[in-house]
């Protein structure tokens, strides 16, 4: 289809997955009326595609067999008027979740066992399309901001028991209440906060990020006095 060179590394495949997912999220949420209108039951078998440039498209399936990529669910338009709108959207979301996984593992066929596991973990950190459409998890949310009563600096205990202050970090040694961050999403990949992962917060825009998404390790974060996320770094250079 629209692919040039296929993504090969875990990071490239995850970026492709995230971009296609973003396009479909848009179709099922902000652009839902346009999407609904395009799925005319009077038309032929239609599919919902998410593209690597974060756009979506309702179109006919590829003609060649086998296609260059796994195909999405065929004929999503036929059931549109025969069921409750929200139920239909949920069904499309479930099939689209399956398609995104199949495309990612199609590209990841040559990955080794550990790489496939890492890829699945990265994808699994994001809410599914079904969860977004059924509002079990938010599609977009801003990290919770402090009311002023809590410091943005996280207290961590070192191995010798001493307490030291670091920039805003979220990881498994984080001793604040996890509920405060349960709605926090990564500013890079959109994944939900998980207490088992290392996170870091930007001191400028106050967004939170997976350490792995911004290539910051816990050890590296220890030496950072003020952390600037990639977006804020880019803005400061302009």
Can you give the pLDDT at residue 166?
47
Report the candidate in 199, 205, 203, 165 with the shortest Cα–Cα distance to residue 184.
199
3-state secondary structure of 202: coil
Query: Please, what is the Cα angle at 83 between 71 and 124, to 5 degrees?
Result: 45
Residue pair 60/44 in contact (Cβ under 8 Å)? The answer is: yes
Mean pLDDT for the chain? Answer: 81
pLDDT, average across residues 168-175: 49
How confident is the model over 225-229, as a mean pLDDT? Answer: 85
- For the cut 80, the answer to whether the pLDDT of residue 152 exceeds it is no
Predicted local confidence at residue 224, as pLDDT? 84
Helix (H, G, I), strand (E, B) or coil at 163: strand
What token pair was written down for 3?
């692919």
Q: State the average pLDDT over residues 207-216.
A: 87
Question: What domains does the chain contain, in order, with CATH numbers?
Answer: 10-134 (no CATH), 199-236 (3.30.40.10)
pLDDT digits (tens, 9 = 90+) for 35-62: 999 999 999 999 999 999 999 999 999 8
Check pLDDT > 80 for residue 165.
no
User: Of 15-19, 72-76, 227-231, which range is least confident?
Assistant: 227-231
Q: Which residue has the higher pLDDT, 128 or 233?
A: 128
Q: Can you say whether the dihedral through the CA atoms of 77, 81, 83, 87 is positive or negative?
A: positive
Please give the pLDDT value at position 228: 86
Q: Would the pLDDT of 144 be above 50?
A: no
Q: What pLDDT is attached to residue 170?
A: 53
Which residues are within 8 A (CB) of 60 and not within 5 positions of it... i.e. 6 or more apart?
44, 45, 46, 47
Q: Which distant-in-sequence residues (6+ apart) come within 8 Å of 124 by Cβ?
A: none
At 84 the pLDDT is: 94
Q: Strand, coil or helix: what is 28? A: helix
Q: Which residues contact 2 (CB under 8 A, 6 or more apart)?
A: 51, 52
Q: Please say whether the beta carbons of 202 and 232 come within 8 A.
A: yes
Per-residue pLDDT at 77: 95
The pLDDT of 178-201, averaged and rounded, is 75
What pLDDT sits at residue 191?
81
Q: Which residue from 186, 165, 185, 183 is spatially nearest to 174, judged by alpha carbons? A: 165
Tokens 């990612």 correspond to what residue?
104
């Amino acid at each position: 289809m629209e692919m040039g060179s296929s993504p090969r590394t875990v990071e490239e495949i995850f970026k492709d997955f995230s971009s296609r997912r973003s396009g479909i999220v848009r179709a099922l949420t902000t652009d839902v009326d346009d999407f609904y209108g395009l799925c005319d039951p009077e038309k032929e078998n239609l599919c919902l595609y998410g593209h690597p440039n974060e756009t979506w498209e309702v179109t006919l399936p590829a003609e060649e067999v086998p296609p260059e990529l796994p195909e999405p669910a065929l004929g999503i338009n036929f059931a549109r008027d025969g069921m409750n709108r929200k139920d239909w959207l949920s069904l499309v979301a479930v099939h689209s979740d399956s398609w995104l996984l199949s495309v990612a593992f199609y590209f990841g066929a040559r990955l080794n066992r550990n790489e496939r596991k890492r890829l699945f973990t990265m994808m699994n950190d994001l809410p599914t399309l079904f969860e977004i459409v059924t509002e079990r998890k938010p599609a977009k949310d801003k990290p919770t901001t402090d009311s002023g009563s809590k410091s943005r600096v996280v207290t961590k205990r070192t191995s010798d028991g001493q307490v030291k202050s670091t920039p805003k970090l979220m990881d498994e040694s984080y001793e604040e209440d996890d509920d405060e961050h349960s709605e926090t999403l990564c500013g890079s990949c959109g994944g939900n906060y998980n207490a088992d992962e290392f996170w870091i917060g930007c001191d400028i825009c106050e967004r939170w990020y997976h350490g792995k998404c911004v290539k910051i390790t816990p050890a590296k974060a220890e030496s950072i006095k003020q952390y600037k996320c990639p977006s804020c770094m880019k803005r400061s250079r302009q």
